[in-house]
Amino acid sequence: MDDKTGQGEPIIHRARSVAAGFADVGLTHAEELLRRMSPEGREQARREREAKARRQKRLMGRLVLAAVVAMLAWALLSTILLPGASFAVAAALMLLLTTLVFMRAESRAPGREALVEAALPALAEEAFTWVAAQRRGLPAPALQLTDSIGHRLDELAPQLARLDPRSPAASGIRKLVAVELPDLVAGWRGVPLSQRRAPLADGRTPDDHLVNGLQLVDAELSRINEQLGRGGLDDIAVLGRYLELKYDGDRDLG
């Protein structure tokens, strides 16, 4: 009898863990729905629409540029080739340029590699899109912080366009947005769902560590925006301190 009980307890424990996981998923989805209906959620959606409109505007500009290049090539080649041949070469060039434009304008959320490789003027917008894509499944306090981080990135975009990409400030901002922030979210997602609300050795849960890390990122982006607005580029040193890399310990839970 005792043996059966001993064998049954792990099964019961696993069943409870699975049930808790399903409850967490249902609660998270409900929280996300309420979030979308809130004023903050509507504001986030508005910013996402504006970012999409800016991407579409850039796409149209590149297509127009491709057409102009093809027409100039046609005009130049028509002086040295037969009309049919010059038109065929210009048409092939137009097709090639159009294909390249659409290949570079994939309408998917950027992965971490895209964030690292993004040009500095486009970094804030790419990060904004990435943050919006990470919202699914986050706890409610983290959702509020992603809204705030998205707003900070939106404010940061025009300032990055004026910042020297070789400056220490640019390097620090890129590390914060393209490396440390994705590391934070990826580390949290690596924790099993049933353990995300379980206290760790320091008394805080993985959810707590995620929220704390996002708070620090949000505060750092706010400070960067303020200092860039004042022109205090020499004072910006975006270091790993904002993430309190105690969070690395959460990755050992998997």
Out of 98-102, 206-210, 219-223, pick the least confident: 98-102
When pLDDT is averaged across residues 220-230 and rounded to a whole number, the result is 85
Q: Rounded to whole angstroms, how far apart are CA atoms 167 and 50?
A: 29
Domain ranges across the chain: 109-254
State residue 89's pLDDT score.
84
| pLDDT tens per residue, range 44-98 | 566 667 666 766 777 788 788 888 888 888 888 888 888 888 888 888 888 888 8
Q: Which residue has the higher pLDDT, 20 or 166?
A: 166
Q: Rounded to whole angstroms, how far apart are CA atoms 48 and 56?
A: 12
Q: What percent of the chain has pLDDT over 70?
A: 67
Helix axes 83-104, 39-77, angle to 10 degrees: 160
Q: Which residue has the higher pLDDT, 2 or 223?
A: 223
pTM of full prediction above 0.75 = no
Q: What angle do CA 68, 102, 85 make, to 5 degrees?
A: 45
Question: Does the pLDDT of residue 6 top 60, yes or no?
Answer: no
Q: Which of 75-79, 115-119, 217-221 has the highest mean pLDDT?
A: 217-221
State residue 39's pLDDT score.
63
Out of 170-174, 199-203, 243-247, pick the least confident: 243-247
The confidence band for 214, taking pLDDT boundaries of 50, 70 and 90, is: very high
The confidence band for 35, taking pLDDT boundaries of 50, 70 and 90, is: low
Long-range contacts of 112-121 (CB under 8 A, 24+ apart): 112/178, 112/182, 112/186, 115/177, 115/178, 115/182, 116/174, 116/178, 116/179, 118/178, 119/165, 120/160, 120/161, 120/163, 120/165, 120/170, 120/174, 121/157, 121/160, 121/161
Q: Rounded to whole angstroms, how far apart are CA atoms 162 and 237?
A: 18
State residue 206's pLDDT score.
93
Q: Is the dihedral of CA 237, 241, 247, 251 positive or negative?
A: positive
State residue 241's pLDDT score.
47
